[in-house]
Amino acid sequence: MSRLVEIIQSEDDALRHQSLQSVIGACTSGELLEHCAALENFRRNEQNLYARVRALFFLSAIYRYHLPATLEAEQVTSKGLIPFDGYEHLLARRFGEAIDSFLMDQTNDGPSDALASALSQAYHQLAFQTLADQVRRSVRTVRGNQWMFRIGHPADHPLRLRRELLAADPTSGAMPLLCETTAVRMDLSHSAWSDIFFLGMDYPSGARVLNISVDLGVRGRDSQPRPPIETYLRVIDQPVFRLASVDLKASADVTTIGEMFDFARDYLGLLKAAVIAAGVVPPGLEGCGRPMHELLQRLVGPGMGLELVSKINDIPKGSRLAVSTNLLGSLISILMRATGQIQSLTGGLEETERRLVAARAILGEWIGGSGGGWQDSGGVWPGIKLICGAESGEGDPEFGVSRGRLMPVHEVFDEQRASSETRQKLQDALVLVHGGMAQNVGPILEMVTERYLLRSESEWQARGQATEILDEVVAAIESGDIKRIGAATTRNFEGPLQAIIPWATNRFTDRMIDACRQHYGDRFWGFVMLGGMSGGGMGFLFDPAVKPEASEWLGKMLVTVKTEMETALPFAMDPVVYDFSINDRGTWSELRHGNEAMMPDRYYQLMLPELLRTPLRDLPVHRRGELQAIGRRCAEDQLDATASTLLLQSVLPKEDSSGDNDESLQELLDRIGFDVEQHEQIRSDLKNGRIGLSQNRLMSSTTIRDVSSDHVVDLRRGGTAEASKLGEEAIRGGEVAVMTLAAGVGSRWTEGAGVCKALHPFHRFAGRHRSFLEVHLAKNRKSAKAHDGVIPHVFTTSYLTDGPIREHLKRHEHFGFRGPVHVSTGKSVGLRMIPMIRDLFFLWQETAQQVLDQQQQKVRESVRSALMNWARSAGEGNDYTDNLPGQCLHPVGHWYEVPNLLRSGVLKQMLDDQPTLRYLMLHNIDTLGANVDPAILGSHIERGSTLSFEVITRRLEDRGGGLALVDGHPRLVEGLAMPDERIEFDLTYYNSMTTWIDLDGLLAAFELKRDDLGDTAKVDAAIRRLAKRLPTYVTLKDVKKRWGHAQEDIFPVAQFEKLWGDMSALPEVDSNFFVVPIQRGQQLKAQAQLDAWNRDGSSDYIDSLCDWNA
C-alpha cells in the first residue's frame, strides 16, 4: 500500500497528521507517478468521503507543485497539449471524465507540465465538489429539515400560521405585527478558520471559536448601539407574498412559487432563501409551477398573504460581522415562530430552537448559493460563547461518515466565566471599524481547506498555535485581563493566521497597525482580525483611558490611509468606526397590536410613493387603514422631525443628481481627447452586426495549425554564450530600455473594481508588501547594476492609471531607482456601451463556459436573465453612462500603448536623452518574470529582426490564443480570433506578451524615422495608417457599479480593443518567437492565482530577480 494511502486511512493521529511533503519530498517523477496511480485507484474505490477528499487534494498538490518541478529538474521536455474534450468535461463539471481524458493522454504521451496543470485543476475541483455534496447531504439529513424536500405540491403544505397573527385589532383593524431583533457576531478567534464546515466535520476537536453577539451603532450617526438586524412579519389582505428590504430599497410581490426560487431577479434573494429555508415555501416545491395564492390559502387563509420585511440599520457589506447570516437567522426565526415550528412566539429562544434556526440558516446559505462558517449565526445566541465542533455519535446522520457533526455545540458563558465587569472592560477597550474594503473571502476558505488536508508542517504547527491562542483568549476573558486578549489576538494575526494564509493581511491593514503602534505605543493593546480576512471589519484594542480619543483618531487615520491607497486597493466605501455593546439576550421577538403594529419609518419611505400613486379606492382595506394611521401620526406629532421630513422627501420630486454625473463624464471625455467620430462608427458597426463577438473570429476557411520547432527559438535552457555577451554589451552600452504596459485597470484582478493594478501591493517581498510597479523597477535595478548600464524604464498609462501612477512614483521617489523613469500618458480612450443581446448570447451559450455547482448555477442563470433584461431596457449599443465616469470609459487595447509612446513624445525624449538606445523590452504589468536577460536580448540582437515575441508552453489557465501557423505563416493569434475554440488546444505555445523591439525597425513599420518623432502631424498620420490595418475586437468586460452601503452590482459591458500580438501578422514586420521558461513568461491575471504562485516557488524566483536596495 502506498504510504500516502496509509496516512489517509490511519486512525493514529501522529500518522494521520503527517504532511504530504514528508513522504514525497525526495521522489523522482517516476515515483511520484506511482504514488499518483495508487491514490487514483484508492479514491475511485474508497467509500468514505473524507478519505476520498484527502486523496484528491494529495493528487492535486502533487500535480500542481511537485511533478512540474521534478520534470523541470529532470529536464524532461515534452510538448504537452491538453486534450480539448477533457477541458470540455472540466468546464461542464464532469470531473471524472475529465480526469480519465487527461490520464489517458499522460499514459500515451508521457507526463508534462501542461497535463499536470490540467489534472491538478480537475482533482482540485472534484475535491471541492465532493465536499460541497457532503455538506449538502448533511444539511438535508438534519432531522427537522428533511420533510421540506418531500413536499411537492402546495396542497400538501403541512404548516399553518399561528392564530395570534390572524386576529385583527378590533378598533383599528390593523393586523398584529411580529418583530424580531437580532445581534450580529464578532469573533475574537476562530482558531485559524476552524469554523469552515469541512474542518469542523473532519477535525471536531480543533474546531473552536470564541464568538460574541454585539449590538452596533455607527459612530457619529447613531445615538447608541442597538441590535442591527430587525425583521418584521404580518398578514396582509392580498394573496401575495410581499418581500421588502428597507436597506436595499427593494420590494416585490411574489405571486408564483417559482419566483420565490428566482434569487437574482431582484435584491431580495436573501429574504427568499429565508422563506424557503424556514419551510414556508419548502424547497421541495421548486419547479411545481403553482401560483403562490394556493400555498397562502393553506398556510394563512383564503385571500390572505404575508409580508416579510428586513432592516439592517445600514451596516455596510463586508463588515466581517456575519450580517447576512444573522439576518438570515433572524428571518428564519420569525418565520418559524409564526408557523409554530418554534414554540415561543415572543421573547427569546430555547437552546433547541436556536439550534434549529442555525441549522436552517446553513440550509438557507446553501440554497442561496452563498456560504458561511458554522459560527456565523452566533448573533442568534446571547452574549459571549465558545462554539465547538462535536464528535458524531450513533443516531447522528453523520455517524460513520465524518468524525464530527455538521452542527457545533454552543457554550454560552455565564456570569462566572465572563463577569459583567469583564464585559464592560471589553467594551471600553475595543474599537470596531469597517476599513472600507469589501473582498470575497471565498478563495481564502478554499485555501485553508486545502492547507488543512495537506498538513504541510509549518502550517500544521501554526494551526496548533492558533488553538493554544484561543485557550489563552478564553483564559483572559475568564480572568478579565483585556490587555492579554489584545496581545493574544495580535499574535494570532501576525503569527499563525498569516503563516497559513499570507493573504489574510494586506498593505492597508499593516499600515493601520503600524500607525496605531507608533501613535499609541503601549496604550495600543492589539489588533483583532474579524471573520475570514482583514481590510473590512476589524478590531483595535486600546487602553480604556485613551479609547475615546483613539476612536476619533482611528476614524480619521483610516480615511487618510484609505485615500492614499484607494487607487491601488479595491475599497468599496469610506471607513467607519462603530460603537458597540455586547448583546446578552440573543434574538428577541415581540408581537405588536393596534397602533403599535407599525412598520419602521424607513419602510414607509420605501412604500409610500407607490401607495400614493394608487387611487385610495383601489387599495386593500389594510393599506388604507395604514395610510390613515400614518396621517394620524403626522398630525398628532408622533413622528419625529427627521422621520416626517424623510417621509415627505420620499414622495416629492428630487433634484436630478444624475446630471452632474453626465456632465463630469462629458468633461472627462473632452479633456482626454475622446474621438466621437470613431465612437459613433463603432456603435453603428456594433448595432449593424459588422463587429461583435462572433465577428472577432477569423474566417472559418483559415487554416490554423501548430508551429514546429523550426518556427521558434528555444531559450528554455538559456541562450548561447555569444548571445549573452552581446546582450551584456548592449546593456552596458545603454542600448536597451524597458516599457511596462500599465494602462489596464485589472478587470479580472479586482473583478471590475477599477483600481490601478500596477499599484496593487499584492505580495510581501523583503519584509513588506510591494506593488507590480515596484517589482519591475527592482528587477531593472538588478539588471542595470549587474552589467553596469543604464536601463531607462517607461510606464505607459491610460486616463485611469496615469494620475495614480505619477503620484505614486513621485511619493515614493521612484523607489530609489536611479535610472530614468518615464510615464507615457495614454491618449486613446473608448466609451463603454450596453452590450448587444446577441453578444451576451454568444458569450454565455456559444463559448465554452465553466458550469457552477448545481445551486450556484441556478443563481447564475437567474442573474443572466436579469442582465439580458437590463441590456434590453437600457438599449443595446447605447452609451454606458450609469456609473462613475471612470467606470464608463475603457482603455482601447495594448496595441495603442506603443503608438502612444510616439505620440506623447516620450520616445523622442528618451532618444534625445540616450541616443544609444536601440532596443525596447515591452511587457505586461503582470508578467513578473520578465527582466532584461542578456542572453535573450543577445538572441534578439543576433537575429536582427524587428520584433521577438516570448512564448511559453501552455498550462490549463493560459487561455486566449497562442502561436500558430495561419495559412502557413507563423503569427500570434488572439483567443478572440480563433474560429473554433478547439484549435487553441492544438497550439503548444502561449503568448507571454513580452516583446523585444528593434526601435528603428518599429519606426520603419510606421513609415517613420527617428527625426520624424518631433512632427506630431506626421506621427498621427502614421499611427492612423497602421491602425486601420489591424483588426478591432469587441469584448465584454465586467464592470462593478457600487451603490448603497458597499453594495456592488456587476454588469457586462461592451468595449473594443486592438491588440499588440496582431503586429506579428503584418508581412513587412520581421518577427521571431522565443520559447522561454514558464516562470519567466507566466502572468498573474487573477488574485486567485496568487496562492499557487507563491507556493510553487514562483515568488521566490521573482525575488531572486530583484534588487530591493535603493
Partner 1 sequence: MQVRKAVITAAAPNQSRIPTQQLVNREGKDKSALQLIVEEILSSGVEEICVVIRPDDQEVFEQAAGNLIGSLHFATQASPNGYADALLQAQSFVGDAPFLHLVGDHLYLSTAEQSCAKQLIDVAAEFSCSVSAVEATRENKLPYFGIVSGTRVPRHEGVFEVQRVSEKPTPTLAEQELVTPGLRAGHYLGFFGMHVLTADIFESLEQVNADASVPHATLSDALDAFRTRHQYMAFQVAGSRYNLGVPYGLLMAQLAIALSGRDREQILSEMVELLAQRAPIIHDQSEQKA
**Options 33-41, 338-346, 488-496, 811-819: segment touching partner 1 (CB under 8 A):** 338-346
Shortest separation between residue 156's beta carbon and partner 1, angstroms: 4
Its sign, for the CA torsion 1019, 1021, 1026, 1031, is: positive
SS3 sequence, 837-901? HHHHHHHHHHCCCCCCCHHHHHHHHHHHHHHHHHHHHHCCCCECCCCCHHHHEECCCHHHHHHHH
Shortest separation between residue 297's beta carbon and partner 1, angstroms: 8
Tell whether residue 43 is a contact of partner 1 (CB under 8 A). no
Site size toward partner 1, by CB under 8 A: 24
Pairing of strands 961-966, 704-705: antiparallel
**Options 154-162, 260-268, 675-683, 736-744: segment touching partner 1 (CB under 8 A):** 154-162
118, 90 in Cβ contact below 8 A?
A: yes
**Options 138-146, 266-274, 807-815, 1076-1084: segment touching partner 1 (CB under 8 A):** 138-146
**Using the rule CB under 8 A, which residue among 34, 48, 73, 150 binds partner 1?**
150
**Using the rule CB under 8 A, which residue among 144, 287, 442, 548 binds partner 1?**
144
**Strands across the sheet containing 1071-1075:** 713-714, 1071-1075, 947-953, 989-998, 919-924, 736-741, 793-796, 821-824
Interacting positions 155-194 with partner 1 (CB under 8 A): 155-160
Q: Based on CB atoms, which residue is closest to partner 1, 151 or 252? A: 151
d(CA 121, CA 139): 27
**Which residues, in sequence order, are CB contacts of 625 under 8 Å at separation 6+?**
172, 173, 174
Q: Based on CB atoms, which residue is closest to partner 1, 280 or 387? A: 280
Q: Based on CB atoms, which residue is closest to partner 1, 200 or 279? A: 279
Helix extents (H) in 11-48: 13-16, 20-24, 29-45
Residue with cell 538572441: 939
Shortest separation between residue 355's beta carbon and partner 1, angstroms: 10
Q: Based on CB atoms, which residue is closest to partner 1, 246 or 328? A: 328
Q: Based on CB atoms, which residue is closest to partner 1, 264 or 280? A: 280
**Grid coordinates belonging to 611:** 401607495
Tell whether residue 73 is a contact of partner 1 (CB under 8 A). no
Interacting positions 355-414 with partner 1 (CB under 8 A): 356
**Which residues, in sequence order, are CB contacts of 119 under 8 Å at separation 6+?**
59, 60, 63, 99, 102, 103, 106
Tell whether residue 988 is a contact of partner 1 (CB under 8 A). no
**Grid coordinates belonging to 151:** 413536499
d(CA 917, CA 1000): 10
SS3 990: strand
**Which residues, in sequence order, are CB contacts of 299 under 8 Å at separation 6+?**
157, 159, 160, 161, 280, 306, 339
Shortest separation between residue 587's beta carbon and partner 1, angstroms: 17
Q: Based on CB atoms, which residue is closest to partner 1, 74 or 156? A: 156
Tell whether residue 339 is a contact of partner 1 (CB under 8 A). yes
Q: Based on CB atoms, which residue is closest to partner 1, 397 or 532? A: 397
Across the strands, what pairs with 250? 245
Which string of DSSP letters, residue by residue, matches 301-359?
-TT-EEEEEEE-TTPPTT-SS-HHHHHHHHHHHHHHHHTTSSS-SSB---HHHHHHHHH
Binding mask 279-298 for partner 1 (x = CB under 8 A): x-----------x-x-----
Binding mask 240-269 for partner 1 (x = CB under 8 A): ---------------x--------------
d(CA 24, CA 2): 11
Q: Based on CB atoms, which residue is closest to partner 1, 354 or 425? A: 354
Q: Based on CB atoms, which residue is closest to partner 1, 178 or 1002? A: 178
Shortest separation between residue 386's beta carbon and partner 1, angstroms: 25
**Using the rule CB under 8 A, which residue among 146, 344, 664, 684 binds partner 1?**
146
Interacting positions 815-844 with partner 1 (CB under 8 A): none
Tell whether residue 337 is a contact of partner 1 (CB under 8 A). no
Which long-range contacts link 1023-1028 to residues 24+ away (Cβ below 8 Å)?
1023/899, 1023/902, 1023/903, 1026/899, 1027/895, 1027/896, 1027/899, 1027/1058
Shortest separation between residue 282's beta carbon and partner 1, angstroms: 9
Q: For the chain, first and last CA: distance in Å?
A: 55
Nearest to 1024 by CA among 730, 861, 757, 827: 827
372 burial level (CB within 10 Å; 0-12, 13-18, 19+): buried
Tell whether residue 1064 is a contact of partner 1 (CB under 8 A). no
Tell whether residue 151 is a contact of partner 1 (CB under 8 A). yes
**Options 144-152, 451-459, 800-808, 836-844: segment touching partner 1 (CB under 8 A):** 144-152
Tell whether residue 1043 is a contact of partner 1 (CB under 8 A). no
Shortest separation between residue 411's beta carbon and partner 1, angstroms: 22
**Which residues, in sequence order, are CB contacts of 300 under 8 Å at separation 6+?**
161, 166, 235, 306
Q: Based on CB atoms, which residue is closest to partner 1, 356 or 809? A: 356
Q: Based on CB atoms, which residue is closest to partner 1, 301 or 979? A: 301
Q: Based on CB atoms, which residue is closest to partner 1, 262 or 1057? A: 262
d(CA 537, CA 264): 26
Shortest separation between residue 160's beta carbon and partner 1, angstroms: 5
Q: Based on CB atoms, which residue is closest to partner 1, 143 or 517? A: 143
Total residues found in the chain within this entry: 1110
**Options 40-48, 90-98, 146-154, 465-473: segment touching partner 1 (CB under 8 A):** 146-154
Given 3-state DSSP classes, what are the helix, strand and coil percentages for the chain, each rounded to the nearest 5?
A: 50, 15, 35
**Options 332-340, 494-502, 547-555, 886-894: segment touching partner 1 (CB under 8 A):** 332-340
**Options 142-150, 542-550, 633-641, 890-898: segment touching partner 1 (CB under 8 A):** 142-150
SS3 sequence, 660-696? HHHHHHHHHHHHCCCCHHHHHHHHHHHHCCCCCCHHH
Q: Based on CB atoms, which residue is closest to partner 1, 54 or 360? A: 360
Shortest separation between residue 136's beta carbon and partner 1, angstroms: 18
Tell whether residue 143 is a contact of partner 1 (CB under 8 A). yes
Tell whether residue 338 is a contact of partner 1 (CB under 8 A). no
SS3 458: helix
Residues lying near partner 1 in the complex (CB under 8 A): 143-148, 150-151, 155-160, 239, 255, 279, 291, 293, 336, 339-341, 356
